[in-house]
Amino acid sequence: MVDMSSFPITKRWPAKHPDRLQLYSTATPNGVKVSIMLEEIGVAYEAHYIDLGANETWTPEFLSLNPNGKIPAIIDPDGPGGKPLPLFESGAILIYLAEKSGKLLPADAVLRYQTIQWVFFQMGHIGPMFGQLGFFHKFAGREFEDKRPLKRYVDETKRLLGVIEARLDGRDWIMGGDYTIADIAMLGWVRNLIGFYGARELVGFDDLNHVPSWLERGLKRAAVERGLNIPKRP
């Protein structure tokens, strides 16, 4: 039996199966990256729902795992050397799980680093910019009289969609014929942009030739369908 008692987060969210990877998350575009990945690679895990509305990421227990107070985060009881590994930041978790499982990250060194660069592209650009568009289009920012911030993020989102569009020209997936963690990193964000944020027309999504079909292919994957709804709200 794995001893998880040294991790304060397990006091608030007890592990029923401490021998399984523990996921602390919510089904947001960042959160579902990890749940989709876990479903894709078939690793046994236990999902704990973190209530963002109740500010549970700012509790001492959650901050003990991620001092930045963001989901997702994991504890792998079978980390390097057989010791438990706590890990936060969705991009880092994707890379870790890909390397641990030997799946969804090319073994070839050149292709591996090229895949990772697209994960970083999502982390550094798509997530922050799409999120700002959501704030100014759907949430509190929509009440601002000054529409220049909204225009800024609409324009930047269109530019970023153009980058993905160009990359997918002649490719089924970001890395070509193989689905990878680069696709997993982006699928939830593009889905959220035109769905939850309601920005489909605003960003001219249907004017694109390749991104819509890539998104459709991704959303049809059984592991993606499952992962988009994990963890479930209690």
CA–CA dist 20, 48 (Å, integer): 12
Look at residue 182 and tell me whether its pLDDT is greater than 70: yes
- Each residue's pLDDT tens digit, 75-104: 999 999 999 999 999 999 999 999 999 999
Give percent above pLDDT 90 in the chain.
97
- Each residue's pLDDT tens digit, 108-147: 999 999 999 999 999 999 999 999 999 999 999 999 999 9
Look at residue 72 and tell me whether its pLDDT is greater than 70: yes
Residue closest to 66 by CA, chosen among 94, 47, 88: 88
Q: Which two tokens stand for residue 51?
A: 């209530």
* DSSP bridge pairs for 176: 173
CA–CA dist 26, 184 (Å, integer): 16
CA–CA dist 104, 106 (Å, integer): 7
